[in-house]
Structure 1
């Protein structure tokens, strides 16, 4: 028995699959670049946040990465083990863990300066095209966040 064809349900017609598969490819492009400096992609994202704003809390970091604090704790322990960050309990509230870059963590930022150009080159697009795409994706993400139930 033939199943009726519904173009709305074709994999290649799904925005979610285009985003998912592109994210997978982007992560694969990043992998050797980040391995050269001893980072995983999630660790790199955490370091980007810390390079932007050193001294934040685990809660602030997880909010910035749109994830829950429990999921970032293992990667933060690894970054601390590598000597890139320190984690200390807040003196004002010991439930709060503050994150600070070490000298080694700050030095890594210098190496990371070359990463965006590698991604631009791998994409075959201009930096301007990628920024326009990023802006559209941020708008989409924001709209989807608003559509979530409270």
Structure 2
């Protein structure tokens, strides 16, 4: 039984799926990932790989831990992504000369060139949402605020 989106939470309906903030975020994320999957398939990237590339396009030659910090990912999750991107010829990994425990990630020429092809992705996603730029900015700010509050609770 589906509840109306406008129905207010009460003690009686609090455990209904449609009353759950987590489900609204989860299902919106699934839909957003489908949009990204279609767009990123043209770049031969997965969504997590795209996020790594975004970080590297902002700042090349950074450590694995810096990338992980930006993306909220641990090394165990990040390392396979980086290996696949390296195999695809988009980046290289090498040890830092100052501290050989650190692995530096740097874009290749192909990785830098892919940035140009990816330019259309953000606008295409915005069009798919049918939201104005102000709405997108507001949603993003609200989600960042929520993330901050949740991280503070961990």
TM-score bracket for the superposition, by shorter chain length = over 0.9
Q: CA deviation at 1:125?
A: 0.8
d(CA) in 1 for partners of 2:12, 2:31: 27
d(CA) in 2 for partners of 1:114, 1:26: 16
The counterpart of 1:42, out of the listed 42, 45, 48, is 48
d(CA) in 2 for partners of 1:67, 1:78: 16
Secondary structure at the counterpart of residue 94 of structure 1: coil
Residue 120 in 1 paired to residue 126 in 2?
yes
Q: CA deviation at 1:33?
A: 0.7
Q: Structure 1: where are the runs of 5+ without partners?
A: none
Residue 143 in 1 paired to residue 149 in 2?
yes
Q: TM-score, normalised by structure 2?
A: 0.91
Residue matched to 1:24: 30
Q: CA RMSD in A?
A: 1.0
Moved more, 123-132 or 40-49: 123-132
d(CA) in 1 for partners of 2:53, 2:12: 44
Residue matched to 2:111: 105
Structure 1 runs of 4+ with >4 Å offset: none
Q: CA deviation at 1:124?
A: 0.9
d(CA) in 2 for partners of 1:33, 1:88: 30
Secondary structure at the counterpart of residue 94 of structure 2: strand
d(CA) in 2 for partners of 1:129, 1:33: 22
Q: Structure 2: where are the runs of 5+ without partners?
A: 1-10
Residue matched to 1:64: 70
Q: CA deviation at 1:70?
A: 1.2
Residue 33 in 1 paired to residue 39 in 2?
yes
Q: CA deviation at 1:6?
A: 3.1
Paired residues, what number?
144
